[in-house]
Amino acid sequence: MSAQAGLRIATRKSKLALWQAEHVAALLRRAHPGLDIELVPITTLGDRIQDRSLAAIGGKGLFIKELEVAMHERRADIAVHSMKDVPAEVPDEFQIAAVLKRADARDALVAAGGIACLEDLPARARVGTSSLRRQAQLYAARPDLSIEALRGNVDTRLRRLDSGDLDAILLACAGLMRLGLESRITVRLDPEVCLPAVGQGVIGIECRDEDVRTRELLQPLEDHATRRVLEAERAFAERLGGSCQSPIAAHAQLHADQLSLAGLVAEPDGSRLLRGSIQGGAGQANSLGKQLAERLLAAGAADLLERLREV
C-alpha cells in the first residue's frame, strides 16, 4: 500500500495526550516507513472548563467531541484517546479502528512523605480525585477520609499535593508511567480495593468508518488481547447505560482463551458497592459484559443508576 498521502492526528493539548499521540505517530512510522504524519492539537471543552466537575458539565465525552468534529470536517484523519474517556457508544460515523497493548490498568495512590499505603493515611486526610468511581471506593475502604474535587492535568494535580493542599491524590498508573513519573506512585491499588475505570490504561485510535485506507494503515497497531478485554468492559458499561454521574468500574483479564471480568456499581458515598464477576471464553467478550451487567442490574444497580440520573 502507498502511504505517501500522509495522516493527520487530532489530539488534546495536554502533556499526556500529546505523549500518546506522539507514541502512536512513532508506531505508525515504524509500521509504514515514509508515512508523513502531522499532529493537530485541539483544546476541548473538557480542557477549557476546569472549575466544575465533569459530571456537572456533561461527562468525559467532552474530551473527545471536538476531536470527532475535526475528523468529520476532514481537518484530521484519526484521533488518539485514552479509552477510559470514550463513551460506551461511539457515533455511527466513527469507529475505534485500533487499540494498543494495555498498560497498567490500576489506580495509583500518590501521597505525601511518610505514607506507604492507603491504611497509613491519617483520619480525615484530604484526598483529591475528580472521579466518582474512585471516590465511592475510597469512601468504602476509608469512610473517615475527606475527599476533595481535583481537576486539571497531571502536573496541576501533583502541584496541589506538593503544596500541602492535599495529603494524597489518586491518578491512573498508566498516565504517570507514560509521563516518566512512575517514581511518584506511592502504591498501586489492588482492583479489590479500587476497581479501575472501563478501558483504563488503553490507548485507542478512532477514525471515520468510511475511511478504508486509514483503517488499513492502523491495523499493524492493533493488540487483539486488549481488544477482547476492552470489548467486555465496554459492553458491561453500555448495558448499564451509565454516565459520568454513575460510579461504574470494570476490569477484564485474559488467560489463554479464557476471559474473566469483574464489575462494580456504587453509591457515590461508598455506602453500597454492588460487585460481580464472570468468566467464559474470550470469544464471548461482548456477551460476558452484558451478562454481568444484567446480574448487577437485577441486584439493585437499576434503581441506583436511575436515581443518580435524576440528580
User: Which structural domains are found in the chain, ordered by start?
Assistant: 7-100+201-222 (3.40.190.10), 107-188 (3.40.190.10), 232-309 (3.30.160.40)
**Contacts by 253-261, CB closer than 8 A, 24 or more apart:** 253/229, 254/225, 254/228, 254/229, 254/282, 257/281, 257/282, 257/283, 258/282, 259/228, 259/229, 259/232, 259/284, 259/285, 259/288, 261/232, 261/233, 261/236, 261/288, 261/289, 261/292
- At 195 the pLDDT is 98
Banded pLDDT at 3 (limits 50, 70, 90): very low
CA gap 219, 242 in Å, rounded: 30
- At 15 the pLDDT is 95
- At 130 the pLDDT is 87
Beta bridge partners of 188: 108
| Active-site residue, from 47, 77, 85, 211 | 85
User: Which of the 8 DSSP states describes residue 62?
Assistant: G
Report yes or no: 209 and 94 within 8 Å, Cβ to Cβ.
Answer: yes
Which are the contacts of 53, defined by CB distance < 8 A and separation ≥ 6?
130, 149, 151
Banded pLDDT at 2 (limits 50, 70, 90): very low
User: What global pTM score does this model have?
Assistant: 0.92
Banded pLDDT at 45 (limits 50, 70, 90): low
- At 1 the pLDDT is 38
pLDDT in tens, 88-146: 889 999 999 999 999 999 999 999 988 999 999 999 999 999 899 999 999 999 999 99
Annotated active-site residue 85? The verdict is: yes
